[in-house]
Amino acid sequence: MALTSVETFHQPETKNRVAELLQEHEDRAMIVAGGTFLHGLITRGLIYGIEALIDIQKLGLDYIKPVDEGIEIGATTRFLQLQESALLRDNAALGAIRDALEYPPMQIMNSATIGGCVASSCPFFDLPTSFLALNALVLVHGREGGREIPLSDFFTGLFENALQADEFVVAVRIPGAGKGCASAFVKLETNANDLAILNVAASLQMDPAGHCQAATIYIGGGVGESVVRAPSAEAALTGKKLDAGSMQQAAAVAKNDVDPLSDHRASAAYRSAMTAVLLERTLKRIQNRPG
Amino acid sequence: MTELNVIGKSVARPDAFDKVTGGRHYPVNISMPGMLHTKILRSPFPHARIVAIDTSAAEQLPGVKAVLTPKDVPQRPFTPVYFVPVESKSMVLDFVIMSDTVRWVGQPVAAVAATSIDIAEAALELIDVEYEELPAVFDPEEAMRDGAPQLHEHAGNNIAKNPSLSIGDLEAGFAEADHIFEGVYQTQRVHTCYMEPRVCVVDSDSSGRLTVHSSMQHAFGLREKLAFALGLPESRVNVIKPPYIGGGFGGKLDLGFIEPIAALLSLKTGRPVRAEQTRGEDFISTARHPIKVFLKTGVKKDGTFTARYIKSILDTGAHATHGSEVIMVHGLYGAFFPWKCPNQAWEGFTVYTNNMIGGGYRGYGAPQGCFPIESQNDEICEALGLDPIEFRLKNTHREGDPHPVLEGHTLSSYRLDECLRRGAERIGFDQRKKAGSSPGSIKKGIGFACHPLWVSGCVGFPDIYEHAGAMVKLNRDASADIISSCVDIGSGQTTMLCQMVAEELGLDIESVRVVYADTDTAPFDAPTHASRATYSAGLATKAAAVDARKKLFRVAAIVMEANPEDLEIENGNIMVRGAPDSSVPMADIIARAESPFIQVGEQGPFATTLEEKGTIIGSASMSPPTNPSPAAAEFVELEVDTDSGEVKILRVVYAHDIGRLIHPNSAEGQVEGGFQQGMGYALMEHLQFDQETGACLSGDFLDYKIPTAVEMPAKIESIFIESNEISGPYGAKSMSEMCIIVPAPAIANAIYNAIGVRIRDLPITPEKILRALGKI
């Protein structure tokens, strides 16, 4: 299925021009960078009436830089660039990102971009789940200028988000974490080029005695319209020593936080059971990750 | 066995360089000046009558050159299956290219030829079809019930075919048994996932003669079926044999919709017309049939079979096509004859449903037989505490036994015992632990399966083409050209033919080529299917090379003043046996045969003989003499995560009685590729459809999961047993399909050994494992 309706392909060189073009074409324009999501939509016949593609690769948004205590990742940064970044190395707080980048096949690693995987607003993707657990912010730009949106407010539904018609994603910012913070991510998949049947990311702030001071846990992949937070599991860990007992307890209550769906890939019962298994695996990873 | 020069060596494959540099000769890359593109409008309903089709708006779209609807298509039914005659009495003849009744979601209802794909697609949206929806049925057992929606007038209760086999006295056999085992086993619909889509370019000339390029497994089958579908004499169709295609695996063994549609559009427009299916269209074009098998077996305490009853219900989808024959192969070679049992009965049902039409797929009904039988065999051994290897050997054939299917033929080479013994030894089967006994949540298991009977071609089947032919032409530079219509579908047929001709003519492999061929110029060859190419096309091509050598020696004998019987070839030279000084370059002899009668030398003109003149061409067209059975056993070691149900295959050992190895690397490639497809069948592959609308839910590789390199085991070890089949070329028999028949039951048995719970329906997904363990 070709995208026959496309009439123009823009390659603007400024963020303001992108916002103008988005305004001009209203909902008949799409941002493109790596093109992997667009390709998926086209081959599945899920996209109609797009008259303009706006390529944002000339905006200089492929970068990863330290900001305050955290990092900022430009929207057109490829997965592979992020994986190879020295800023990710030996940083237990960013472990969830490293884990999430272990799963995609090389073709996706080479083409898919950080901005694309967030803006797609698909609950079956991996990196957004790990970003959520790290309290990421989305930097967006529109005709009125730039603004920051907490990622947890950014996703509003399946393929839906808080972007205005003239806005697009320019970067993702991961705030700095204190000492003793570690995170991890785990995905359940059928083969190496699968969307998540289920995925889990957790970030724990530990005190020197090994107690969990704060926990942030998100679960994605067919457990809701968007990736969902797991407050019951977080509560089960907060104030506890991270050991087999507390991990099992958190895993056991996590299913209260999800409302999984049944589809041709897995039943709700299986997804629900896997919530516990995957969360326990994620917590074990954190346990083995020196903070 | 005698040491040979080229046979048994992994020579460089002549198509390899082309393929790894983009494969410019794949049919998908064919393009012609003035070529039009076609797109097909497909039914959104699983069952409906077409009341009206309005194509006027589409026809007026600039760039649209022709539109096709059912009224433009001949309505005489036939079978599109390449390997049988087009009106074969053994097949159910219910197929036409386009009909006023649609019976599955995706059935073509109209087609457009336009100057670009985009225009053709846009035109489809302008075609207005009025449907009258009819009730649909998707489950074959429901379809067999009284009152179910009927798909075809000729088939009461939707039963297209109902064959049966029996020997002995079933009731007495069960009465004699010490134990009776019963089980219901279910297999799913899977796709071969060939890499190159189905694609064709059809051109027509001013006399209405067609030239066809297509990605397919049988040039002559395509000619026969296309000519019939269009109501043309066969000689009005010329099919070009592609030098290679991007995989077939049985999935390109029938006339698709695209070739006749492109042909009709070419005849309408007088221009070449190209049709290429999308991956989504490919997924609903061909699939291995799901078969539900009811299996009841009586055994003595010592494991001897006393009785077996097998009932198989095959979901053929909207038309019988391959389902007419898959049920037979499943019954004969997949279920009834592989195992020896004095009292046995099998009943098969090929049932119409409003699902997609099934197709060919390596194994052709045998994987759906081997999975239930080898699963139950394992259950019997487990329950009765029998040695599973001895149990297999007790109940099946031995070398020298009469061939169980072919009267008057014997299993002259047959080493199932050696496959089982050597495979077991290599994997360390005697170290296998009791089922479910490994500690911890990640449990290891070892399992195996064997298949005792298969084919090296089609000799002995009713109504299936088996003969092959080839021509071998010698050139003055001491090289040989092979003209053969045997299609290389990826498994190395071209290389194998070159090796055989090089061996017979004493040439190196680089001096032998398989050249251009089409149905106008090459002799008939049956399809590349049924594990037959090495045995059947190989025998014919070897015979053509022997014929060429005989003619070469006749000329050499004149030139060398020797007796042709005394001559031999070595490294491109011809000599009298035992007299190396007599050696003459083969090129000189061929040149003499092609040179003028009076020649002019240094000393002036001189006469040669008229008897020596003429291009040296060998030819053969023949049926293979028999249908030797290979044998194979596969051992799998795996681990099951009992928390998540995930399965990881650790190690595979595959032992196969191949007769003689022709090309070791290609044979190993077959084993590894076969395991990949078999592992997908066992664990994850599943073409799924919405049970209310009939729409495909797994139309791309995001939803249709196949094992990637990441899931494949790190080690697949092949053991080839060279039993030297007396009737085969150099002792060879077949390779290709055994290695996809055995993986699913081997994996299922290993999973049982790991977790101690039996799962009887494929694919064995993590979810099914957790359910079986009672965890969800």
Residue A242: which CATH number?
3.30.390.50
Q: At what angle do helices B664-683 and B743-755 cross, to 10 degrees?
A: 50
Give the residue from B622, B644, B679 where a domain finishes: B622
- Name residues of chain B where pLDDT drops below 50: none
Give the residue from B366, B387, B408 where a domain finishes: B387
Tell me the CA end-to-end span of chain A in Å, nearest whole number.
49
Are residues A188 and B688, on separate chains, in Cβ contact within 8 Å?
no
User: How far off is chain A from B702, nearest CA to CA, in Å?
Assistant: 6
Are residues A191 and B684, on separate chains, in Cβ contact within 8 Å?
yes
User: How far off is chain B from A192, nearest CA to CA, in Å?
Assistant: 6
**A chain contacts of residue B770, beta-carbon cutoff 8 Å:** 270, 273
Query: Bridge partners of B497?
Result: none
Please give the tally of structural domains in chain B.
4
In a domain, A149, yes or no: yes
Closest chain A residue by Cα to residue B279:
A43
What pLDDT is recorded for position B418?
98
Tell me the CA end-to-end span of chain B in Å, nearest whole number.
57
In a domain, A2, yes or no: no
**B chain contacts of residue A191, beta-carbon cutoff 8 Å:** 684, 705-708, 710-711
Does residue A67 sit at the B interface (CB-CB below 8 Å)? no
In a domain, A3, yes or no: no
Residue type, B759: I
Are residues A273 and B775, on separate chains, in Cβ contact within 8 Å?
yes
Under the banding of pLDDT at 50, 70 and 90, the label for residue A43 is confident
In a domain, B604, yes or no: yes
Q: What is the pTM of this model?
A: 0.97
Tell me what the mean pLDDT of segment A204-232 comes to: 95
Q: In this structure, are B355 and B293 located in the same domain?
A: yes
CATH number at residue B124: 3.90.1170.50
Domain that holds residue B315: 136-188+287-387
**A chain contacts of residue B643, beta-carbon cutoff 8 Å:** 277
**A chain contacts of residue B279, beta-carbon cutoff 8 Å:** 43
What pLDDT is recorded for position A218?
98
Q: In this structure, are A227 and A280 located in the same domain?
A: yes
Respond yes or no on whether ipTM tops 0.90.
yes
Under the banding of pLDDT at 50, 70 and 90, the label for residue A154 is very high
Does residue A49 sit at the B interface (CB-CB below 8 Å)? no
How confident is the model over B354-411, as pLDDT tens digits?
A: 999 999 999 999 999 999 999 999 999 999 999 999 999 999 999 999 999 999 999 9
In a domain, B12, yes or no: no
In a domain, A159, yes or no: yes
> What does each C-alpha distance from B574 to B173, B507, B578, B582 come to in angstroms?
64, 11, 12, 8
Tell me what the mean pLDDT of segment A156-175 comes to: 97
In a domain, B26, yes or no: no
In a domain, B657, yes or no: yes
Q: In this structure, are B347 and B407 located in the same domain?
A: no
User: How far off is chain B from A139, nearest CA to CA, in Å?
Assistant: 30
Domain that holds residue A168: 64-174
How many residues are given for chain B? 776
Q: In this structure, are B525 and B652 located in the same domain?
A: no
Q: In this structure, are A164 and A136 located in the same domain?
A: yes
Q: In this structure, are A169 and A72 located in the same domain?
A: yes
What pLDDT is recorded for position A139?
98
Q: In this structure, are B694 and B593 located in the same domain?
A: no
In a domain, B193, yes or no: no
Are residues A191 and B770, on separate chains, in Cβ contact within 8 Å?
no
Burial-class residue A8 by CB neighbours within 10 Å (0-12, 13-18, 19+): exposed
What pLDDT is recorded for position B565?
97
Structural element, H or E, at residue B278 = none
Q: In this structure, are B46 and B85 located in the same domain?
A: yes
Q: In this structure, are B703 and B636 located in the same domain?
A: yes
Burial-class residue B20 by CB neighbours within 10 Å (0-12, 13-18, 19+): exposed
Alpha-helical runs (H) found in B52-169: 56-60, 117-124, 140-144
What pLDDT is recorded for position A2?
60
In a domain, B462, yes or no: no
A184, A96 Cβ separation under 8 angstroms: yes
Q: In this structure, are B129 and B243 located in the same domain?
A: yes
In a domain, B156, yes or no: yes
DSSP A137-198: EEEEEETTEEEEEEHHHHEEETTEES--TT-EEEEEEE----TTEEEEEEEE-SSTTPPPSE
A151, A137 Cβ separation under 8 angstroms: yes
Look up residue A129 and give its two tokens: 């789940």
Q: In this structure, are B643 and B721 located in the same domain?
A: yes
B755, B651 Cβ separation under 8 angstroms: no
> What does each C-alpha distance from B458 to B113, B370, B658 come to in angstroms?
39, 19, 17
Nearest to A195 among B688, B702, B766 (CB): B702
Residues of B with CB under 8 A from a CB of A: 117-118, 121-122, 278-280, 643-644, 646, 684, 688, 697-703, 705-711, 766-767, 770, 775-776
Q: In this structure, are B618 and B632 located in the same domain?
A: no
Q: In this structure, are B225 and B350 located in the same domain?
A: no
Does residue A55 sit at the B interface (CB-CB below 8 Å)? no
Give the residue from A174, A208, A233 where a domain finishes: A174
Q: In this predicted model, which residue has the larger pLDDT, A43 or B714?
A: B714
Q: At what angle do helices B743-755 and B367-384 cross, to 10 degrees?
A: 30
Q: In this predicted model, which residue has the larger pLDDT, A237 or A291?
A: A237
What pLDDT is recorded for position B497?
98
Which strands, in side-by-side order, build the sheet including B101-102? Answer: B101-102, B48-54, B128-133
CATH number at residue A105: 3.30.465.10
B530, B83 Cβ separation under 8 angstroms: yes
Mutate to test the interface with A, among B61, B118, B643 (most CBs of A within 10 A): B643
Residue type, B538: G
How confident is the model over A187-210, as pLDDT tens digits?
A: 999 999 999 999 999 999 999 998
Q: In this structure, are B42 and B92 located in the same domain?
A: yes
Give the residue from B335, B353, B387 where a domain finishes: B387
**B chain contacts of residue A267, beta-carbon cutoff 8 Å:** 767, 776
Under the banding of pLDDT at 50, 70 and 90, the label for residue A291 is low
What pLDDT is recorded for position B688?
98
Q: In this structure, are A76 and A153 located in the same domain?
A: yes
User: How far off is chain A from B159, nearest CA to CA, in Å?
Assistant: 29
Q: In this structure, are A203 and A267 located in the same domain?
A: yes
Q: In this structure, are A50 and A73 located in the same domain?
A: no
Mutate to test the interface with B, among A191, A195, A271 (most CBs of B within 10 A): A191
Q: What is the mean pLDDT of chain A?
A: 95
Q: Is A7 helix (H, G, I), strand (E, B) or coil?
A: coil
The yes-or-no verdict on residue A180 having pLDDT over 70 is yes
B199 closest CA partner among B274, B107, B264: B274
E strands, B542-698, are 567-570, 573-576, 579-585, 598-601, 604-607, 617-622, 631-641, 647-657
Look up residue B30 and give its two tokens: 């064919």
User: How far off is chain A from B419, nearest CA to CA, in Å?
Assistant: 31
Structural element, H or E, at residue B373 = helix B367-384
In a domain, B161, yes or no: yes
E strands, B303-343, are 305-317
A155 closest CA partner among A129, A134, A126, A177: A129
Under the banding of pLDDT at 50, 70 and 90, the label for residue A49 is confident
In a domain, A114, yes or no: yes
B637, B438 Cβ separation under 8 angstroms: no
B296, B373 Cβ separation under 8 angstroms: no
Q: In this structure, are A108 and A48 located in the same domain?
A: no
Q: In this structure, are B515 and B603 located in the same domain?
A: yes
Are residues B705 and A269, on separate chains, in Cβ contact within 8 Å?
no
Are residues A1 and B702, on separate chains, in Cβ contact within 8 Å?
no
| Touching B: A residues 94-123, CB under 8 Å | 105
| Touching B: A residues 198-257, CB under 8 Å | none
In a domain, A59, yes or no: no
CATH number at residue B737: 3.30.365.10
Please give the tally of structural domains in chain A.
3
Nearest to B708 among A192, A264, A272 (CB): A192
